[in-house]
Copies of this chain bind each other. A is one copy, B any other.
């Protein structure tokens, strides 16, 4: 089946897509088993070898809150930070930014919520406070010459509040852009979005002056919608997507076995659409199999299971 999927390209879609591989951070932080630094380095090395050029390497949050990401400084120390691959690390505040810079990070990510409930429940403050914290951190990172991406959480729905107004998302995206974020990742944190919702949010953001080229879609497959949402975003010109090898990374707000959009499932679709990524799907699938062994359970990617004959 080497000629499958058949390729049918469409000039109305982006010719090339950039994938930000999030398994080593967003994925692993949702796992009960903490992987030691050498294993995390092997994961990142395998992903770089597969052709991924943007690989989240960890985070500088409190190791008490997120033990899975402890020793991210040691991870960065084991990477070639001068290579063509970027290794963004998550920084929650100015102190985390300083730690990341001390460890040599050239790429950082800040995060803010678009809902009051999630801000208070997960970010430890009011929406105003945590937004200001994220914006300050982004501004400081940008002023220091780092590349900064901004994550928006709960863009397509909130587990406590339900519906989220796309105009609220636009305001938060503008705040991140004005603080120096060159990429803004729109997080469907609980996976409830559907394609028309994605289209509406993108149109609202573009209408508010946010460049489509700066937008990234971060989907979770909690309700099986992740790839349909990616297709809707491609049709609006989005060319950056977050994805996770094997789909590792659960949703903490639903009793679901599915997590992040699996990189392999995304690659299968992009390949079929004739969109280039520079990434070897078989190498990613093999990495997912290996990662599942390290974590002690199979990962949810459908493509990985089909390709490797699991």
Residues on A lying within 8 angstroms of B by beta carbon are: 1-10, 156-157, 159, 162-164, 191-197, 199-200, 221-225, 227-228, 230-232, 251, 254-258, 262, 265, 268-269, 271-274, 301-303, 305-306, 308-310
Q: Is the CB of B305 within 8 A of A258?
A: yes
Given A197-B272, A223-B306, A225-B268, 6 other A-B residues pairs in contact with their CB atoms under 8 A: A195-B231, A196-B273, A221-B302, A224-B302, A256-B305, A258-B305
Chain B's closest residue to A191 (CB) is B306
Q: In the complex the two chains form, what is the Cα distance from A293 to B251 in whole Å?
A: 24
Q: In the complex the two chains form, what is the Cα distance from A224 to B228 in whole Å?
A: 10
Interface of A is mostly: loop
Q: Is the CB of A159 within 8 A of B1?
A: yes
Chain B's closest residue to A221 (CB) is B302
Q: Is the CB of B302 within 8 A of A8?
A: no
Q: In the complex the two chains form, what is the Cα distance from A67 to B226 in whole Å?
A: 36
Q: Is the CB of B1 within 8 A of A196?
A: no
CB contacts (< 8 Å) of A232 on chain B: these are 231
Chain B's closest residue to A261 (CB) is B224
Q: Given the known inter-chain contacts A9-B196, A306-B256, please indicate yes or no for A268 contacting B157, CB distance below 8 A.
A: no
Query: Would you give 28 A-B contacts (Cβ < 8 Å), ordered by A?
Result: A1-B157, A4-B163, A4-B192, A6-B157, A8-B196, A8-B197, A8-B200, A194-B269, A194-B271, A194-B272, A194-B273, A197-B272, A221-B302, A223-B306, A224-B262, A224-B269, A224-B302, A225-B227, A225-B265, A225-B269, A227-B228, A231-B232, A251-B306, A254-B309, A255-B310, A256-B306, A257-B310, A258-B305
